[in-house]
């Protein structure tokens, strides 16, 4: 019986030794697709809008104002495909007008408030010029139109009824 146990033990050890001696082939790991880094969109121009939260569509770049009324306008970045972006952190925005009928405050920054000082005889505009890190300047305009006062037409005076001509006498 000792011999049978000894033979059995030797057989188990031999099988274990053979199993450990064999090199295990490396199991291929699941490969993950390597994604190329996606470049952040870069502003290549600017939009000017009166909506601080606007992020798509045509810019809201017009307002109708009367004397002492104001509007705040904002400069936003414009991507190569027309998308709305944040302005680059290093961009400088200057606001200017040639009109003596409005004032802009402040003259620099991402936003400005436009105030009408005198009755506008015609539309005027404010130009935002953004200078980016590469030295390129990008411009956009905001237009201010005079508010049209709707005047009621004076009622036409009533005409007095025209006297009707008497019918001509009929001859017999």
What does the pLDDT look like over 45-63, one tens digit per residue? 999 999 999 999 999 999 9
Is the pTM for the entire model greater than 0.85? no
Query: How does residue 77 score in pLDDT terms, banded at 50, 70 and 90?
Result: very high
pLDDT, averaged across the chain: 84
How many Cα atoms occupy the beta-carbon half-sphere of 128 within 13 Å? 32
Share of the chain above pLDDT 70, in %: 67
pLDDT tens digits for range 111-131: 999 999 999 999 999 999 999
Q: At residue 25, what are phi and psi to the nearest 5 degrees?
A: -70, 140
CATH code, 43-146: 2.60.40.1080
Residue-wise burial string across 117-152, b where 16 or more C-beta atoms lie within 10 A, e elsewhere: eeebeeebbbebebebeeeeebebebebebeeeeee
> Which own/partner pairs from 154-163 qualify as long-range (CB within 8 Å, at least 24 positions apart)?
none
Q: What is the predicted pLDDT for the residue at 34?
A: 67
């Amino acid at each position: 019986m000792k011999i049978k146990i000894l033979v059995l033990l030797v057989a188990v050890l031999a099988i274990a030794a053979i199993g450990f001696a064999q090199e295990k082939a490396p199991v291929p790991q699941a490969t993950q697709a390597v994604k190329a880094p996606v470049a952040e969109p870069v502003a290549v121009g600017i939009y000017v809008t009166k909506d601080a939260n606007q992020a798509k569509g045509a810019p809201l770049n017009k307002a109708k104002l009367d004397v002492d009324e104001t509007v705040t306008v904002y400069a936003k970045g414009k991507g190569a495909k027309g998308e709305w972006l944040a302005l680059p952190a290093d961009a400088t925005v200057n606001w200017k007008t040639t009109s003596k009928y409005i004032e802009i405050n402040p003259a620099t920054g991402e936003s400005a408030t436009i105030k009408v000082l005198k009755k506008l005889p015609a539309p005027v505009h404010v130009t935002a010029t953004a200078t980016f890190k590469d030295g390129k300047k990008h411009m956009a305009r905001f237009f201010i139109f005079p508010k049209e006062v709707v005047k009621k037409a004076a009622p036409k005076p009533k005409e007095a009824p025209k006297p009707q001509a008497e019918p001509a006498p009929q001859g017999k």
